[in-house]
Amino acid sequence: MSVLDTYSPAERSEILRRYRNLIEVWHTRKDVTDRWMVRKAFRLAVDAHKDMRRKTGEPYIYHPLEVATIAAGEIGLGRTSIICALLHDVVEDTEYKLTDITAMFGEQIARIIDGLTKIDTMVEGSDVQSLQAENFRKVLLTLSYDVRVILIKLADRLHNMRTLDAMPPTKQWKIASETSYLFAPLAYRLGLYAIKSELEDLALKYTEPSVYESVKKNLEESRDERNQMIEAFLVPVRESLDRMDIKGRILIAEKSASSIWSRMKEKEIPFADVYDTFVVRFIVDGSPETEKVDCWRVYAAITSVYKPNNERLHDWISLPKANGYESLHATVMSKAGKWIEIQIRSDRMDEVAEKGYAAYWKYKDAPTSESGLDEWLTKVREVLSSEDASALEFLNNFRLNLFSDEIFVFTPKGEMISLPKGSTALDFAFNIHTNLGSKCIGANVNHKLVQLNHPLKTGDQVEIITSKVQFPKEEWFDFIITARAKSRLREAIREHRKTYKEPGREKLEAHFKQLNIEASKANITRLIDAEGLSGLVDLYYYLATDKLTLQKIKDVFKEKPAGGSGFFKYLISPFMRHKPIEEVANQELDKNENTDIKADILPEETTDLGYTVASCCNPIPGDDVVALAFQGEPMHIHRVNCPKAIDLMSQYGNNIIKAKWKQKEDIVFLAGLKITGFDSIGFIHRLTTIISIDLGLNIRNLQLESSSGVVVAYITVYVQNLKSLKEVIERLQKLEGIRNVKRLERLSEAGK
């Protein structure tokens, strides 16, 4: 009996069609052994998933087939990855075990599949705060040994996003939030630009459907006019390229809806004012030895016809991005008076830009290849190996250090060092060496003396100034941002404090003797816990430096512990010989039980929870909202597109509950507006007349900023719902002299 016999004839035909498509898009080596191994994995997956269906009602096997097709066709992976993609849900969802996979396909494939298998339960009483964060950490840790786990996970996520329509809204928000929070930035960092853009677009589609549809509609309606303008732009450019005998091809790439929406929000402009809704891409024919020169020749050919904007020239050829991306970006003014964004790259650069990590390895041994992606993966492994915090802290640290934009700075000898954007002079010092950071008292940045917390920018040359009397300080954690600096500072502080062991031990012994307290393990533990210290090293340091005094110790032991008998519980018994402090100090101290709320575990009944409206996004009736419930707290109501809500949903997806406004006529909500226009006599009078007199609404606060004839007004007003707020905005936009009316995401922006 064939494994396909359990499916209907139409389903069998579709499964075979998808399998043949997978083989067709698989462009890496395909010898007889490779094909046989993939066929074997396919048959196992078909059999393992034969009784499973997706939410759409389709056979589940469609999903691993599509994931494998994305891995092979869109990412460019080979046999091992295709097999893992076909089997990625077998261990998680069926009776097969990892040992079975190892026996059939070997240790390497089993290890990758283990990395793709989710942790599906939390152990009761564990200190796990977020199941999603734990799963993210498990996947990210695989970067330390095999990046293919992440690449297959991205293929899996992309197919899930493409088929998200069948899911209920809360599930859509959870998955879309995870995608924005982690998977899209990961795709970007691994150079998978097409996948990153599609993930962001699909996330926007489910978190802000009206925005997504509006941008897509505007792109569609303006496409013909845009194409005519581009064609007119290219006519003289082609002539110039022909005169210079430059061979290549020209592509027109439309920007993604999510990137256009980000630009509209950032610049506070409508779609019509976004000039870079597309990019003209020039891909040059040429050898790796001459490709850089060839790209600059194309730039010369274009700028001989059109004037460039030098502020928007970005040379990613001489200085590739951390993920290996290379391209020359420029913006030129067309004859039609419109800015046109252009990108110039070679065939090799284009393949790396489209296929990311997979293409990068294809060219890795070439003499002209760059090591940007190697450096990024080295940083990844450093963060992974040095991180011992909770999964949530780990995740936030990972995103801060490895998803942020980069800056490139130079040592006094001209060596270039890349750091996350926002890094300080002290981050730079610790990046060089722990001792340099520990003894740092300042820096010369471009021959100008600056403080330790001075933020660096690309092109800075940094010379660190040290002093023998300087020592590492805890307050430095307030402004350093890199994982390497934090890890090295933590270790430096610990080593510094160890030098206070003897004087600290002597003071502890003297204080305990003076208070007639036994130097027992329990008493030392109580003192450490009461002062919130991390261990004996800190205890001795605080004693030696008089941060922990005799009076504080006395106060600690005056407090009555649970089940104890007051201060006398800690007094030395005259009939017992107490251990010397050295002996107690060498014992391992017990740690308090973790009392953090387990946020993924919700009470069964959540209907009686109160609610609080989040100040980060200020939702009002009519907004699409999501409720997040945590133990012992009222529900937190956020707008679905709120950045903080997206972060929370990506980490606490099981805490999402359905929420719906119950409109009451006697309740009003505070909303904020930013109004930009031309300053004129009666400006405020016209605004307040419409809001207070015509619409009968109460203004809570109004602030005005005027400069060079342009006025910006910030207003908070009480409204009943979104419809009421939209009416205010529409009426104000019709006023003469008003350029833009925008709803504020946070009321604090209006000076609340």
Longest dimension (CA), the chain: 104
Contacts of 103 (CB under 8 A, 6+ apart): none
C-alpha 280/C-alpha 255 separation (Å) is 11
Q: What is the 3-state secondary structure (H, E, C) of 623-642?
A: ECEEEECCCCCCEEEEECCC
C-alpha 343/C-alpha 295 separation (Å) is 10
Distances (CA, A) of 264 to 185, 216, 267, 270: 20, 14, 5, 6
C-alpha 546/C-alpha 720 separation (Å) is 58
Number of Cβ within 10 Å of residue 674's Cβ equals 16
Look at residues 214, 203, 105, 213 and name the one whose alpha carbon lies nearest to residue 162.
203
| Cβ atoms of residues 581 and 587 within 8 Å | no
- Catalytic residue (choose from 92, 221, 242, 583): 92
Look at residues 106, 167, 115, 173 and name the one whose alpha carbon lies nearest to residue 139.
115
Strand ranges (E), 401-439: 406-410, 416-420
CA torsion sign, 361 to 366 to 369 to 371? positive
Is 92 assigned a catalytic role?
yes
List the structure tokens of 52. 């499973």
The H or E element that residue 102 is part of is helix 98-105
Q: Check residue 124 and give left, alpha or beta (phi > 0: left; psi -120 to 50: alpha).
A: beta
First CA to last CA across the chain, in angstroms? 72
Contacts of 371 (CB under 8 A, 6+ apart): none
C-alpha 398/C-alpha 186 separation (Å) is 11
Q: Which long-range contacts (CB under 8 A, 24 or more apart) does 53-60 make?
A: 54/163, 54/166, 55/166, 55/167, 56/163, 56/166, 59/7, 59/11, 59/15, 60/89, 60/93
Pairing mode, strands 328-333 and 314-315? antiparallel
CA torsion sign, 183 to 189 to 190 to 191? positive
Side-chain-side CA neighbours of 141 within 13 Å: the count stands at 18
- Catalytic residue (choose from 93, 276, 315, 506): 93
C-alpha 716/C-alpha 703 separation (Å) is 9
List the structure tokens of 496. 């510094």
C-alpha 3/C-alpha 86 separation (Å) is 15
- R_g of the chain, CA atoms, integer Å: 31
C-alpha 576/C-alpha 578 separation (Å) is 6
The H or E element that residue 380 is part of is helix 372-386
List the structure tokens of 674. 């930013």
As annotated, the active-site residues are 92-93
